[in-house]
Structure 1
Amino acid sequence: MSITRISLAAGVALATLVAASQASAAAFYLQEQSVRGAGRAYSGEVADRGAASLWWNPASIAGLDKNEIYGGVHLVQVDSQVNNAGSTLTRPVIPGGLTTPVGGEPYAGGPINNGIVPNLAGAFRVNDKLAVGLSVAAPYNFTTDYNSRSWTRYDALKSNLKTIDVNGVVAYRVNDMLDLGVGVSAQYTDAELSSALPNLSPLLPDGSSSLKGDGNWDYGWNVGAQFHATPALTIGASYRSEIKHKLDGHVVVSGLLGPLAAANVDTDGKATITTPWMANLGARWQVTDKTTLNASVSRIGWSEFDQIVVTYPNGGSVSEQNYKDTTTVAVGVDHDVNDKLTLRAGVQYDPTPTPDVGRTARVPDGDRMLYAIGSTWKATDAIQWDAALSYISFDDTKINRTETIYRGTAAATTLNLKGDVGGSAVVLSTGLRWSF
C-alpha cells in the first residue's frame, strides 16, 4: 500500500472514531437511566432505594424487604439547527493554496435524530441484609444524520453510536445506618460513521468514507454507599470506573479521482477509546411527612477521554481530544399528594466537557439546563407506575474545528469548519416497578 493510501486510511479511521465518541448529549453520555429519577432531574437517585436506582448506586438495594423489578423507556425528541458561519476548504494549489467556501446547503435542520432509551433492572433479596441485582442500560447511544449536500459533509454525514451495559451488583446492609454495594459492569460498543472527502479540484464530485466499528465486551466496576444519618436524612455516594474500549473497524474509501484515485481503500483497523469515570454525591431529606428534598453533585472524569489511538497495518495515529472534567448539579422535590400519588419536580445544570476550539458537527455539544416534572401512581401494593416529562435547553454554541484531510501527503487539504448551533429537547419517560 502506498504512503498516500496508508495516510488516508488512518485519517479516515481516526476521524470517524473520534466523531463517534463525541456524538451524544453531554458529550456522549445519556443519563436517562431511571424514570423516577427523570421526574426530579436525577437529583435524588444516588440516595434513593430500589432497583430503579441501581445505575446510580449499587448500595441502593441493600436490606430490601421484597424483590423488585424495574423497567422504563425514554422517548427523546430533539429540535436542533446547525448553520454555516463561513466554513472554508484550502486545497494544495501552488503557490499559496486555493481557499474556497465549502459550499453545499448552508442550513441543517434536525440533524440529531430522535431516539428511544430503554432500561431494565432487578433486585433480589437473599436475606435481611444481603441482596443481589442486575441492570441493563444504554448509557452511550446517539445518532446524527446530515444531508449528503450539507456544508458539514467533510466533517460529518452519519454518526451512529450504540452501547449496552450489563451491571451485576451485590449489596449488604452493615447496620441500620450504613449500606454498601459493589458491581461489575460489562459494556459493549459499536459505531457506524460516514463523511465526504474532497477531490483536488472543486469541479469534481466528492469521494466518500465510511467506517463500521464493532467492539468487544469490556469491563469496569462500581461501588457505592448510603448513610442513613437519621430516619429522615439519607446521604448517598457512588463511583463508577472508566472503561477502556477496543473497537475493530472496517474502513472503506471510494470516489477519489485523479492523483487521489490510488487512495481508494478497503482495510481493517483498530481503535481504543476510554469512557469517563463518574463520582456521585447526593442526599434525600424528608422535611415533612409528605415532602422530601433532593440534591446531588456529580463529577464526571471526561479527561479520561484525552485521546484516541488508532492502529492499522504498518502504522498508527493518535488524536488529542482535550476534554475536561465537569461537575453537574441538580436539585428536586418529591411530594406525596396521598397514599396513591407522588408528584416530583427538579432542575439540573449540565455543562459540556468539549473544548470551545475543536468542537465538531458530529454532535456539537453545549452547556444545558434540564427542567423536569414527574409522578408515581401506586396502582396496587405491588405495582407502581412512574412517568416524567423533561425539557432540555441547550446554550447557543459554536462549531470551531480545523483539521487536515490527507495529512502528511502532497494532497493535504485544510478544512476550517465554522458554524452556529442551537436547539432544545423534550424527553417523555414512563416505567413500572413491581415488588414481590
Structure 2
Amino acid sequence: MSPRIKISLLAAAPLWLVASTGVANAQAFYLQEQSARAAGRAFSGEVADTGPQSLWWNPASIAGMENAEAAIAVSAILPRGDVVDNGTVIRRPGGQFAPVGGNPVAKNPINNGFLPSGAIAMPLNERVSIGLAVTSPYSFTTNYDADSWARYTADKTRLRTIDIQPSIGVSVTDWLRVGAAVNVEYTDAELGNKIPNLSATLPDGEQILSGNGWDLGWTAGLQMHNSWATVGISYKSAIEHNLKGSLEVSGLVGPLAGQNATLEGVKAKFKTPAQIIVGGRFRTSDALTLNVQGVRYTWADFDAIRLGAPLNQAIPENYRNSWSLAGGFDYAATPDLTLRAGLQRTLTPTRDGNRDARVPDSNRWNFGAGGSYRVSPAFTLDGAFNYVAFKDETIDRPTIAAGSPILVDGRTEDAKALIFTLGGRVSF
C-alpha cells in the first residue's frame, strides 16, 4: 500500500468506526433512548425504577416481579442544525494552502432516524426473575453533500449496533435487590468520504470503509428501597470492539491512479465507555415521585483506535471522561394517567482541537415531558417528547487526505434535536 493512501486511511478510519449523530440525545456517539417512560422524565430515575423498561440501566430492576412484563418503544429522532466553514484550507502536493472550496454551509447533515428498543422479564419464583433487553445504543446515519466543504473528512456514514442483554435479578432481602447481565453487542459500520486528486480542477476520488463484529460486555447493579425511597447503583462495563472489514479506493487519476484498490481484512479495535450510574426515586406523596440520576462516562477509554494489518497504527482520539445529571418527576394525575417531566445536563467528551465534522458534539440541555395512560389492567401506553439544545461549537481537527494536509476551521450553529417516543407495556 502506498504511503499516501495509508495516510488517507489513518485520517478516515476513526470516522468509519466512531462517527456520531452529533445531535443525538446523549453524548458523542451514544444514544440513551431505550425507554419511553425514561424519555418523559429526561432519563432521571431509571437506575432506581422497576420493570423491564429499566433493564438497560440496571438489571436489579426486575428482581421480585410478581407477573411477567414486556415493553417496547420507538423514538423518532429529528436533528437540525448547520455545519459551517469558517476558512478551511488544503495544501495539495507541490502547492500552497488554498481554500478547500465547496458549499460552505451543510444544512441538517445528520439524517432523521428511528430507534427501536424492547425488553421482557418474568419471575422464576417470588425472589428471582430473568429478562432480556434488546437495544441499539450506537446507531445513526450522516449524509453530507458531495460538494460540501467537509467532504474530505465527512461524507456518508452509517453505524448500527444491536445490544442483546440477558439479565437476572434477585430480591435478596425485603430492602435489597441485585442484578447482573451480559451485553452481547453487534456492530456494523460503513463510511464513504472524498479524496482529493492532485489538482483542484479534477473530480474527487472516493474511499469506502466497511466492517462488522461481535463483542461482549457486562452490567451489574443493586437497588435499596423502603416504603418511600429507592436508591439504585449500576455499572455498565466498557466494551472493546473488534471490527473486520474492507476498504475500496476509487476515482484517483494521474499519478495517483495506481492507488485505486480494494483491500479485504482491514481490522480495528476501539473501546466504548463504561457507565457508572447512581440515582434515586423519592415518593413525597401518594401522587408525586421525584427522580434524580447522575452518570459518569469513562470516555477516556476511547483514547485511540488501534488498526491492524495492513496499517498497523494507533490513532490518538483524546476523549475525556464526562458526565450527565438529570432531575424530574412522575405525577399520578388520576389512577390511570401519570404525567412526567425532567431536565438533563450533559457535557461532551470531545475536546477543542480534536473535533471534526463527523462528530460535531457539544454540551447540551435535554428538556423532556411525557406521560402514561393505563388502557387496561394489563396494558399501558407511554409517550414522550424531548427537545435537546446544543451549544455552538468549533470543528477544528486537522487531517491529511491522500498526502494533502487540511487545516479544518468550521463551526456548528443552531444545533438542536426534536425526539418523539412512543411505547407500550403489557403484563401477563
With the shorter chain as reference, the TM-score category is over 0.9
1:114 correspondence with 2:105: no
Matched ranges for 1:375-394 at <5 A: 375-394=371-390
Return the letter of the residue paired with 2:18: S
Is residue 428 of structure 2 the alignment partner of residue 428 of structure 1?
no
Aligned twin of 1:57 = 58
Count how many residue pairs are aligned between Structure 1 and Structure 2. 422
Structure 1 residues without counterparts, runs of 5 or longer: 407-411
1:220 to 217, 220, 223: 217
Cα distance, 1:373–1:198 mapped onto 2, change above 3 Å: same
Q: 1:92, CA displacement in angstroms?
A: 2.5
Q: Verify the 8 A CA contact 1:35 1:387 in the aligned structure 2.
A: yes
* Percent sequence identity over aligned pairs: 42
**Alpha-carbon deviation of 1:17?**
3.9
Alignment partners' CA distance in 2, 1:273 and 1:363: 16
Shift of 1:14: 5.6
Alignment of structure 1 residues 12-27 onto 2, 5 Å: 12=9, 15-24=12-21, 25=24, 26-27=27-28
1:139 to 2:137 alignment: yes
**Are 2:16 and 2:210, in contact at CA under 8 Å, matched by a contact in 1?**
no
Q: Secondary structure at the match of 1:66?
A: coil
- Kept in 2, the 8 Å contact 1:153–1:196? The answer is yes
CA–CA distance in structure 1, aligned partners of residues 11 and 268 of structure 2? 8
**How far has the Cα of 1:256 moved from its partner?**
1.2
Deviations 1:253-305 (CA, angstroms, capped at 9, x unpaired): 11112221222121021111111101100000000110000001100111111
Q: Which runs of 4+ in 1 moved over 6 A?
A: none
Task: Name which of 183, 197, 200 aligns with 2:198.
Answer: 200
Distance in 2, matches of 1:22 and 1:303, equals 16
Q: Give the TM-score, by structure 1 length.
A: 0.95
Cα displacement string for residues 43-88 of structure 1 (whole angstroms, at most 9, x for unaligned residues)? 0010000000000100000000111001111111111211110000
Q: 1:305-324 to 2 correspondence within 5 Å?
A: 305-313=302-310, 315-324=311-320
Structure 1 stretch 245-254 or stretch 327-336: which is displaced more?
A: 245-254
Return the letter of the residue paired with 1:263: Q
User: In the aligned structure 1, how far is the partner of 2:47 from the partner of 2:19?
Assistant: 26
RMSD of the TM alignment (CA)? 1.2
Distance across 2 between alignment mates of 1:83 and 1:287: 48
Report the secondary structure of 2:15's partner residue: helix
Among 264, 270, 279, the residue aligned to 2:260: 264
Q: What do the CA deviations read for 1:298-338 (whole angstroms, capped 9, x no partner)?
A: 0011111110011223x411110000111100000100001
Supply the AA of the counterpart residue of 1:405: A
Q: Distance in 2 between matches of 1:107 and 1:387?
A: 35
Give distance in 2, aligned partners of 1:98 and 1:272.
36
| Alignment counterpart, residue 286 of structure 2, candidates 285, 289, 292 | 289
Query: Which residue does 1:325 correspond to in 2?
Result: 321
Q: Secondary structure at the match of 2:275?
A: strand
- The amino acid that maps onto 1:108 is A
Q: CA 1:376 to 1:273, structure 2 compared with 1: closer, same or farther past 3 Å? A: same
Amino acid at match of 2:89: T
Mapped to 1, the partners of 2:185 and 2:42 lie a distance apart of: 25
Please show how residues 99-110 of structure 1 align to structure 2 within 5 Å. Answer: 99-110=97-108
Distance 2:8 2:133 in 1: 37
How far the C-alpha of 1:9 sits from its partner, in A, is: 4.3
User: After superposition, where does 1:134-283 map in structure 2 within 5 Å?
Assistant: 134-215=132-213, 217-228=214-225, 230-268=226-264, 269-283=266-280
Other-structure match for 1:409: none
Q: 1:415 aligns with which of 406, 410, 414?
A: 406
Structure 2 CA distance for aligned equivalents of residues 309 and 130 of structure 1: 41
Q: 2:399 aligns with which of 400, 403, 407?
A: 403
